[in-house]
Amino acid sequence: MAKELIVTTRLHDYPIVIGENLLTSFDFSPFIKGKQILIVTNETIAPLYLQQLIDNLPTDKKIATCILADGEQYKNQDSINQIYDVLMREHFSRDCTLIALGGGVIGDMVGFAAASFMRGVNFIQIPTTLLSQVDSSVGGKTGINHPLGKNMIGAFWQPRLVLADMALLTTLPQRELSAGLAEVIKYALITDLEFLNWLEKNMQGLVSLDMSLLGEAVLKSCQHKANIVAEDEFENGRRALLNFGHTFGHVIETHEGYGNYLHGEAVAIGMVQAMKLSQKMGNVSLDDVARVEILLKNANLPILPPKIAVETALDLMSHDKKVKSGQIRLILLKTLGDAYITADYDASSLQQVLQN
């Protein structure tokens, strides 16, 4: 049985449909605008799912495809230009639909291409990783990396539909499943202690691909994200909480080169660092920190950062989008299940955390 969650945005409302074997059975017609469809996917996903998707699309449409290289290192302007080139060569009009079939990298890029082609066209997300199902399917953040920083170029743009098919997770490498669980755990940590308890109880099942449990975790995560985003679509306040662990995590990703750490792995380490700083600030306890470390380990996630000089880390942090008039702002926890954003923390405590 498919579950549905309606996401409300300023541009329009759209459903996230969560279930099993949706790729081959869902009726896309109501969500497709115009007669031209471009499916963008990558070299890993195309042989697995592209033809299945094409076979399930309405037969009266012109369908073009664009298959990009797979990996965060290709989340750049060149890939966007490849999408534009197909759209232009195939005479796509404003009245068309783009479909993103892939993980967060594909979703973010196709979203940005959809936002910027002819100043905005219709698009559909079919996230093929757990991370993209729980993260990029809500919020309208699209974009690419700049050589000097992650996600620096982009736009806010909303899909018309998100289809989260749990069956697609069966071909996902275990390491990527765990990376997705990092973001699931994040929602629990910043906003929902009860969900944290549930995750601790069910982590074994989640890790071993129990579809029903995964569907519940995706729904809960998307609900939390949707609630926060609805309050603050353009990230002026509360939405920043979603970046818990991310400022630290971005440092790792940038320093180690895109693609060497999975995003969720870097976030897992970043969350531990943010927890440690929260503990040094007198908020959470050492036991809380240990509890989260155990949960992350049970999700097969790393918890220790690679070696990065403190000054380098601080310099990389200064590029973060949350920097306001030169001040690095961080997301910390008051208690488990309750996060806040602040520029008011002890600089030496931050340095200690970065030194570890």
**Least distance CB 87 / a copy of itself (angstroms):** 8
**Number of Cα atoms under 13 Å in the Cβ half of residue 240:** 19
Please identify which of the residues 160, 186, 255, 263 carries the catalytic annotation.
Answer: 263
235 is catalytic: yes
Selected range binding a copy of itself among 39-47, 77-85, 199-207, 253-261, rule: CB under 8 A: 77-85
Three-state DSSP class for residue 129: coil
- The angle that helices 77-89 and 104-116 make with each other, rounded to 10 degrees, is 50
CB nearer to a copy of itself: pick between 151 and 352: 151
- Neighbouring residues of 271: CB distance < 8 A, sequence distance ≥ 6: 182, 185, 186, 189, 244, 245, 248, 249, 292, 296
Please identify which of the residues 200, 216, 235, 256 carries the catalytic annotation.
Answer: 235
Nearest partner of 187 among 278, 279, 271, judged by Cα: 271
10 is catalytic: no
DSSP 162: E
Among 21, 44, 84, 233, binds a copy of itself (CB under 8 A): 84
Q: Please report, as a single letter, which amino acid is at residue 346.
A: D
- The angle that helices 174-191 and 193-207 make with each other, rounded to 10 degrees, is 170
Please identify which of the residues 186, 220, 225, 276 carries the catalytic annotation.
Answer: 225
* Distance, CA of 314 to CA of 273 (rounded, Å): 14
Q: What is the CA radius of gyration of the chain?
A: 20
**Residue 288, token pair as written in the block:** 């809380």
CB nearer to a copy of itself: pick between 159 and 302: 159
Per-residue binding string, a copy of itself, 31-70, x by CB under 8 A, is ---xx-----------------------------------
* Distance, CA of 288 to CA of 310 (rounded, Å): 25
225 is catalytic: yes
In contact, 39 and 101? CB cutoff 8 Å: yes
Q: Taking CB under 8 A as the rule, does residue 77 contact a copy of itself? A: yes
Among 1, 59, 119, 347, binds a copy of itself (CB under 8 A): 119
Q: Which residues between 141 and 160 bind a copy of itself (CB under 8 A)?
A: 141-143, 146-149, 152-156
Q: Taking CB under 8 A as the rule, does residue 324 contact a copy of itself? A: yes
Size of the site for a copy of itself (CB under 8 A): 39
**Least distance CB 21 / a copy of itself (angstroms):** 32
**Least distance CB 1 / a copy of itself (angstroms):** 36
**Least distance CB 291 / a copy of itself (angstroms):** 34
Q: Taking CB under 8 A as the rule, does residue 318 contact a copy of itself? A: yes
DSSP 209-235: T-HHHHHHHHHHHHHHHHHHHHH-TT-
* Distance, CA of 38 to CA of 92 (rounded, Å): 9
Nearest partner of 262 among 296, 210, 225, 302, judged by Cα: 302
243 is catalytic: yes
Three-state DSSP class for residue 127: strand
Please identify which of the residues 42, 122, 145, 243 carries the catalytic annotation.
Answer: 243
What values do phi and psi take at 330, rounded to 5?
-125, 155
Selected range binding a copy of itself among 177-185, 214-222, 316-324, 337-345, rule: CB under 8 A: 316-324
**Least distance CB 140 / a copy of itself (angstroms):** 9
Please identify which of the residues 20, 122, 141, 255 carries the catalytic annotation.
Answer: 141
Q: Taking CB under 8 A as the rule, does residue 115 contact a copy of itself? A: yes
Q: Taking CB under 8 A as the rule, does residue 323 contact a copy of itself? A: yes
* Distance, CA of 156 to CA of 184 (rounded, Å): 22
CB nearer to a copy of itself: pick between 120 and 306: 120
Q: Which residues belong to the active site?
A: 119, 141, 183, 225, 235, 239, 243, 246, 250, 263
Residues that bind a copy of itself (CB under 8 A): 34-35, 77, 81, 84, 88-89, 91, 93-95, 112, 115-120, 141-143, 146-149, 152-156, 234, 318-319, 321-326
